Amino acid sequence: MKKLEILGTGRALAGKRVTNDDLARLVDTSDEWISTRTGIKERRFCDEGEDAYSLAEEASRKAITSAAIDSSEIDCVVCGTISGYYVTPSMACVIQKRLGLREDIPVLDVNAACSGFIYGLEVARGLLSSTGGRYALVIGCEELSRLIDMTDRNTCVLFGDGAGAVVAEAADEGLYESVLGARGGYEITVTGPGPEVSRIGMDGKEVFKFAVDAIPKCIDALKVKSGIELADVDAFVCHQANARILDHCIRKMKLDPSLFYKNMDRYGNTSAASVPMALDELLETRGAGAGSTLMLVGFGGGLTWAGVLIKISDRYKCADQRGGSV
């Protein structure tokens, strides 16, 4: 099996900022409750003229720019999402068309809820290994504002829209390890959208317990499988569901909190988009950059979990540093 390195990253933010106070005008909640229970202050919803597809396209274009490759060099596309408008075509196929990518490549969506992007990386690794391809475009994209029941205060305060994408390059050698799993269960359900109002249902307490168990398990498994010391990991990019979940895990594992990137205060929980969005933001704005070693960890509906230990290519530059756009 090939290994993967991250060569390029991109993200797209939805245009409409929705603060906790905005939501407190719709349901019986408060900025105080939302921020102390979740760390979320605001989230982005798609504005007029935007949707999941436009966000996925923008993030993908930036990732390809960041990777400094031609889009015709992409050898597979995998999109983690639960927000597609169609059962078919997949979101990945829509993006393939919009970007004018080659036709002789595998293109598909992965539904692993909030673990979808990391599952997507592993699917892409398998595809590159079996086809002999070099570059994968892996996307995480959600438009959860379409799926939220805006009368349910238990869930409507948690989620947001967004997209992140990476160009991953297959490598014969190097540091790469992965762990994937699922428990099977109905703790998080999403129905619709259809003629009825769509609904995200969640047993928050059960999912919280699951998450604080799953994250340390993933990190430990990656450590054991790779033989790496956690002190040699430059940053941890976890699914941005809730700041309290991450703080709990950091305390439990006695890790340095500054190594855990957090941006749920600004974007809320964007499901499959949260890890690639946080990754791109981290690489653009913080020290961790070319040559760094990261752990990415996701958990969510299914109940799924996923982690990868992955290197950022020595050739990495963010899209802004490259300039231009494909």
Q: Which is nearer to ligand UT7, 195 or 205 (CB)?
A: 205
Beta carbon of residue 244, minimum distance to ligand UT7 (angstroms, whole number): 7
Q: Which is nearer to ligand UT7, 241 or 288 (CB)?
A: 241
Residue 49 has which token pair?
Answer: 């003229």
Q: Which is nearer to ligand UT7, 37 or 98 (CB)?
A: 37
User: Which residue in 269, 292, 304, 313 binds ligand UT7 (CB under 6 A)?
Assistant: 269
Name the residue with the smallest CB distance to ligand UT7. 204
The interface with ligand UT7 within residues 150-169 (CB under 6 A) comprises: 153-154, 157
Respond yes or no: is residue 248 known to be catalytic.
Answer: no
Give the x/- contact pattern for ligand UT7 in 21-60, rule: CB under 6 A: --------x---xx--xx----------------------
User: Which residue in 84, 116, 164, 300 binds ligand UT7 (CB under 6 A)?
Assistant: 300
Q: Which of 76, 239, 242, 318 is catalytic?
A: 239
Specify which residues 76 forms β-bridges with: 136
Residue 216 has which token pair?
Answer: 């340390």
Alpha carbon separation from 232 to 223, 226, 255, 289 (Å, rounded): 10, 12, 12, 14
Respond yes or no: is residue 269 known to be catalytic.
Answer: yes
As a whole number of angstroms, the distance between CA 202 and CA 205 comes to 9
Buried b / exposed e across 115-151, counting CB within 10 Å, b at 16+? bbbbbbbbbbbebbeeeebbbbbbbbbbbbbbbbbee
Give the x/- contact pattern for ligand UT7 in 62-101, rule: CB under 6 A: ----------------------------------------
DSSP type of residue 231? G
Nearest to residue 94, comparing CAs of 127, 137, 44?
137
As a whole number of angstroms, the distance between CA 97 and CA 103 comes to 9
User: Which residue in 241, 243, 278, 288 binds ligand UT7 (CB under 6 A)?
Assistant: 241
Q: Which is nearer to ligand UT7, 19 or 33 (CB)?
A: 33
Torsions phi, psi for 324 (to 5 deg): 70, 180
Respond yes or no: is residue 111 known to be catalytic.
Answer: no
Q: Which of 46, 93, 114, 141 is catalytic?
A: 114
Interaction of residue 147 with ligand UT7, rule CB under 6 A:
no
Q: Which is nearer to ligand UT7, 84 or 116 (CB)?
A: 116
Beta carbon of residue 213, minimum distance to ligand UT7 (angstroms, whole number): 12
The interface with ligand UT7 within residues 100-129 (CB under 6 A) comprises: 114
Measure CA of the first residue to CA of the last residue in the chain; give whole Å. 30
Specify which residues 311 forms β-bridges with: 5, 293
As a whole number of angstroms, the distance between CA 279 and CA 240 comes to 11
Interaction of residue 211 with ligand UT7, rule CB under 6 A:
yes
Helices (H), the chain: 20-24, 31-38, 52-67, 91-99, 116-131, 153-156, 204-226, 243-253, 264-267, 274-285, 319-322
Q: Which is nearer to ligand UT7, 129 or 154 (CB)?
A: 154
Buried b / exposed e across 194-214, counting CB within 10 Å, b at 16+? eeeeebbebebeebbebbbeb
Beta carbon of residue 300, minimum distance to ligand UT7 (angstroms, whole number): 4
- CA angle, corner 18, sides to 14 and 23, nearest 5? 145
Beta carbon of residue 287, minimum distance to ligand UT7 (angstroms, whole number): 27
Beta carbon of residue 188, minimum distance to ligand UT7 (angstroms, whole number): 6
Contact residues for ligand UT7, defined by CB under 6 A: 29, 33-34, 37-38, 114, 153-154, 157, 188, 204-205, 207-208, 211, 241-242, 245, 269, 271, 300
Residues catalogued as catalytic:
114, 239, 269
